[in-house]
Amino acid sequence: MSSSNRLSHPADVANVTSTSVGSRLRIIARLRANIGPFVLVVAFLGLWELLARTVFAGRFLVPPPETVFWGIWRDRGVYQYAVPTTVHEAALGFLWGNVAAILVALLFLLAPVTEKLGMRLAIVSYCLPVVAIAPILQIVLTGESPKIGLATISVFFTTLIIVLTGLRSADPVSLDLIRVYGGGSFKILRKVRIPTALPHLFRALQLAAPTALLGAIIGEFLGGTQGLGIAMIVAQADLNVTLMWGLIVVSSCIAGLCYAVIGLAGRRLTRWSVEAGTSAGSASMGAIPATASAVPGGPGGAISRLRRVAGSTVMPVLSVVFALAVWDLSLKVFGLSSYVAKGPLDVWDYLFSGSMASQNRSPILSALWTTLRDAGFGLIAGCVIGCLLAFIVVLVPRIETYVLGWGITLRVLPLAAVAPLIGAVFGRGVVAAIIVCAMISFFPTFVLMVGGLNSATPGSIALIRSYGGGRWKTMRKVRIPSSLPALFAALKIAAPAALTGALVTEWTVTGNGMGALVIVASNESLFGQIWASIVIIAVVSILLFSLAGLGERLSASHGY
């Protein structure tokens, strides 16, 4: 029978038709996936060109894209020396920070007794803004070490949380199967937990790459001979706006390229893996486990309540004591001069018990109020924008790729480079600080709120729809209440980040607040003021983190 006769059968024709339609659909889906980034780039360049030619025309603050790209080619000698230095520092910080986070995550998993104290120290490292600790590292370390140290600290906490979540999201059935065949903890780790955690690891590495670059650039702002941070300082001093924009574009391209390459590698290397959700990530950030067998009102309930009270009071106190002991011991181990390095008792004396304590506190508290104002308004603006866009994306899912693309663009922009330009465009006042803090708060709020809004149970959604409720009523009655834990989880990330944004802006733009105070104190060798300012910033940041965590636990316990 000829091929034409075989294809003349209706079933064969239907099979061929369905195969061709399937191929076309796959091609269309692939084109849509690939055209998204292209559309974003074109839209970004078009908006940039439009603003440069209209709103900012004649102000010499926002040059058009072609001017910036020509400047990059013309000043390629600057980038030839600056880029390798910064990339080298960021790469080492990226390596050491992620390796340390992975090892600590494995330690917490295999020895859970170490987690309570260790996680609180990790939270302290996250809540310490890099701008605040940069002067201390500059004093304690030499050469490239301060830049590498800042990059290391910048990436540690995020990777720790995401990897720990991945390790704990392994399929319970697979874990039981390994145990049934006599496998121990290490075999479970090798056969199940590590493969499950690999997608989470690549996601953490994606987020760590831009953050490591930012840490290296901030370190270069404090000293060095070359690097992107040094080039930015020179460009600001010379009022070379074109070079400044070129440095931002190059830095953003480096961060974006690392983000994209790591994401591509993760997708290629983990095709066999089924990713677990990340909703349990917040549970590892210090939540107090409940006793399943406790009955309210009975002896078990009373014991459970006593344990919770003890856990919520004793453990934080022990964590503070442990952190102070580590601080004091570190000064002695490194043999640092008491004139430069201040211990806990020195800071207490400077702020409270010393003869000049009231005079010492006054400038710090005044600067702290300015920083909290800047960070607070920026945090509110960023969270409101992130929540609104999350609502729109859930209602119109097809635009998620484009909104997420813009969010990633903001994520990879180096904050230390963008802040001065925002100050030049919008003035060297509170508006610039609010914009920077909003930019840095938007991304985590948007991403987590989309997940939170989509976490509503299908049964609840179906119930609303069965009574004639539309998308808006479903949003108001089901999705928003379900997203409250995600909102507070976003605040846990966004609040310390907004504080960092305020400090960077105050340091590089406004000249007010704690950011400027710490830098001025560093330049004038006022070491007591430096250490006291860092402690207060850390305490405030940890308090904001803890309040958001409390809101997360309360909303989760009420069934939202």
How far apart (Å, rounded) are the C-alpha atoms in residues 199 and 190?
A: 15
| Predicted local confidence at residue 144, as pLDDT | 82
Residue 286 scores a pLDDT above 50: no
3-state per-residue secondary structure call for 109-142: HHCHHHHHHHHHHHHHHHHCCHHHHHHHHHHHCC
- The owner of tokens 């072609």 is 66
The set of long-range contacts for 516-520, using a CB threshold of 8 Å and a minimum separation of 24, is 516/367, 517/363, 517/364, 517/367, 518/131, 518/132, 518/135, 519/135
Residue 542 scores a pLDDT above 70: yes
Residue 78 scores a pLDDT above 60: yes
Residue 459 scores a pLDDT above 70: yes
The set of long-range contacts for 60-65, using a CB threshold of 8 Å and a minimum separation of 24, is 60/241, 61/241, 61/421, 61/424, 61/425, 62/245, 62/425, 63/241, 63/242, 63/245
| Predicted local confidence at residue 371, as pLDDT | 92
Residue 295: both structure tokens together? 């009955």
pLDDT digits (tens, 9 = 90+) for 498-512: 888 888 888 878 888
Give, in order, the Cα–Cα distances in Å from 551 to each of 62, 204, 309, 530, 560.
42, 25, 17, 32, 11
| Predicted local confidence at residue 279, as pLDDT | 36
Residues shown for the chain: 560
CA terminus-to-terminus distance, the chain: 66
pLDDT digits (tens, 9 = 90+) for 337-390: 788 888 889 999 999 988 888 999 999 999 999 999 999 999 999 999 989 988
| Predicted local confidence at residue 381, as pLDDT | 94
Question: In which band, very low, low, confident or very high, does the pLDDT at 170 lie, cut at 50, 70 and 90?
Answer: confident
Higher pLDDT, 274 or 211: 211
| Of 520, 494, 497, 495, residue with least CA distance to 507 | 520
Residues near 121 by beta carbon (within 8 Å), at least 6 away in sequence: 319, 322, 323, 326
| Predicted local confidence at residue 31, as pLDDT | 56
Give, in order, the Cα–Cα distances in Å from 278 to each of 190, 197, 200, 452, 494.
21, 11, 8, 11, 17
CATH topology for 342-560?
MetI-like fold (1.10.3720)
How far apart (Å, rounded) are the C-alpha atoms in residues 475 and 396?
A: 12
Residue 542: both structure tokens together? 């940890």
Per-residue pLDDT, averaged over 530-559, amounts to: 81
Residue 518 scores a pLDDT above 70: yes
| Predicted local confidence at residue 319, as pLDDT | 66
Question: In which band, very low, low, confident or very high, does the pLDDT at 10 lie, cut at 50, 70 and 90?
Answer: low
Which is it for the CA torsion 12, 13, 15, 19, positive or negative? Answer: positive
Average of per-residue pLDDT values in the chain: 78
| Predicted local confidence at residue 94, as pLDDT | 94
How far apart (Å, rounded) are the C-alpha atoms in residues 441 and 365?
A: 24
Residue 65 scores a pLDDT above 50: yes
pLDDT digits (tens, 9 = 90+) for 298-345: 444 555 555 555 555 565 666 677 778 878 887 887 777 788 888 889
How far apart (Å, rounded) are the C-alpha atoms in residues 446 and 376?
A: 18
Task: Name the range with the highest mean pLDDT among 47-51, 136-140, 147-151, 452-456.
Answer: 147-151
| Predicted local confidence at residue 296, as pLDDT | 37
Domain boundaries of the chain, sorted by first residue? 1-55, 66-278, 342-560
For every residue of 62-85, DSSP letters joined together read: S--HHHHHHHHHHTHHHHHHHHHH
Residue 290 scores a pLDDT above 60: no
Per-residue pLDDT, averaged over 31-35, amounts to: 58
Which is it for the CA torsion 432, 434, 437, 443, positive or negative? Answer: negative
Per-residue pLDDT, averaged over 34-51, amounts to: 74
| Predicted local confidence at residue 399, as pLDDT | 75
* pTM for the model: 0.74
| Of 95, 361, 7, 417, residue with least CA distance to 230 | 417
Question: In which band, very low, low, confident or very high, does the pLDDT at 548 lie, cut at 50, 70 and 90?
Answer: confident
pLDDT digits (tens, 9 = 90+) for 227-239: 888 888 888 778 7
| Of 131, 349, 368, residue with least CA distance to 229 | 131
How far apart (Å, rounded) are the C-alpha atoms in residues 150 and 147?
A: 5
Residue 79 scores a pLDDT above 60: yes
Segment (H or E) for 57: none
| Of 286, 314, 290, residue with least CA distance to 164 | 286
| Predicted local confidence at residue 275, as pLDDT | 40
Tell me which CATH homologous superfamily contains domain 66-278: MetI-like (1.10.3720.10)
Question: In which band, very low, low, confident or very high, does the pLDDT at 24 lie, cut at 50, 70 and 90?
Answer: low
pLDDT more than 70, % of the chain = 81
pLDDT more than 90, % of the chain = 12
Q: Are 150 and 218 in contact (CB under 8 A)?
A: yes
